[in-house]
Structure 1
C-alpha cells in the first residue's frame, strides 16, 4: 500500500496529513506544541492514536521512540559508522531490528528486516516538489512503518539545520 507524504520542516507543533495512493487522507501527523521534547502523534481518520513518536531526552545518539498504547514498539537512531550513505537502525520491541538504508536526504531508501524489505520510500513517484511516497509491503504494520519514516525525517531535518 502506498502513502503520500509532503516534506515538512519539522518543529514543535507541525501537523500534516499522510494520504493514501488515491489521494484520500489516511493519517494525521499531529505535532505536539509546548512539550519538553519533540513529540508527534500518528492519528487515524477517526482521531484514534495509532502511534506516539517522541525524541528521547537522554541518549548517547539522537534517538526517537515509537509507542502504541504506552508500550514501546521501536526506537530509531542513526548507526555509528556509515560509509557513503546514511543508515538508521530500528530496534523493535520484540528484539528484532530493521535497517534503513539508501539516500536518506533525497528520500530514496528502503526499510529492511532480516526477512526482506518492509517498505520503500521514494520521491521518484511524484512530480510535486517536497513530496515522497512510502510504499509499505504487504503484511507490515502500516502505522509503525509510517512512524519510522517520520522519525527518519525528523532526525535528518535536525542535522540539516
Structure 2
C-alpha cells in the first residue's frame, strides 16, 4: 500500500494529512506546538492516536522516539560509522533493528529488516517539492510505525543540514 505525504513545511504546529494511493485520508500528523520538545502525533482519520513521536532532549547523537500507549516502541538515530552513505537505525523495543539507508536528503530510501525491504520512501513519483510516497511492501507490516520512522528520518536529516 502506498501513502502520500504532502508536508506543509510552514504550517502552524506542523499539521498535515497522509493520504493512501486512492487519495483517501489515511493518517493525520498533528504537531504539538508550544511543547518543550518536538512532539508529533500520528492519528487515524477519526482522531485516535496511533503513535506519538518525540525528539529526544538530551542525546549524544540526535534521536527521536516513537511511543505507543505510553511505551517506547522505536528509537531512531543516525548509524555511528557509515563510510560511503548515510544510514539510520531504528531500534525496536523488542531488541530488533531496522536499517534505513539510501539517499536520505533526496528522500529516496528503504526501511529494511534483516535485508528484506519493508518500505520504500520515494520522492521520484512527484513533481511537488514537499511530497513523497511511502510504499509499505509487506501487507502484515505495521504501517503506522513505518510511516512514523520515515517521518523521524526526514526530521533528523533536515535538522542535520
Q: Shared topology, TM-score over 0.5?
A: yes
1:149 aligns to 2:154 (yes or no) = no
Post-superposition shift, 1:35?
A: 0.6
Name the SS of the counterpart of 2:60 in structure 1: coil
Distance 1:86 1:119 in 2: 17
How many residue pairs were aligned?
160
Name the SS of the counterpart of 2:156 in structure 1: helix
Structure 2 residue ranges without an equivalent (≥5):
none
Distance 1:10 1:117 in 2: 32
Structure 2 partner of 1:40:
40
Structure 1 residue ranges without an equivalent (≥5):
none
TM-score, reference length from structure 1: 0.94
Q: For residues 29-68 of structure 1, what are the structure 2 equivalents within 5 Å?
A: 29-68=29-68
TM-score, reference length from structure 2: 0.94
Post-superposition shift, 1:80?
A: 1.1
Name the SS of the counterpart of 1:26 in structure 2: strand
Structure 2 partner of 1:159:
160
Note if contact 1:118-1:140 (Cα within 8 Å) is conserved in structure 2. Answer: yes
Distance 1:9 1:75 in 2: 23
Following TM superposition, the consecutive aligned residue runs of length 4 or more in structure 1 with deviations greater than 6 angstroms are none
Name the SS of the counterpart of 1:13 in structure 2: helix
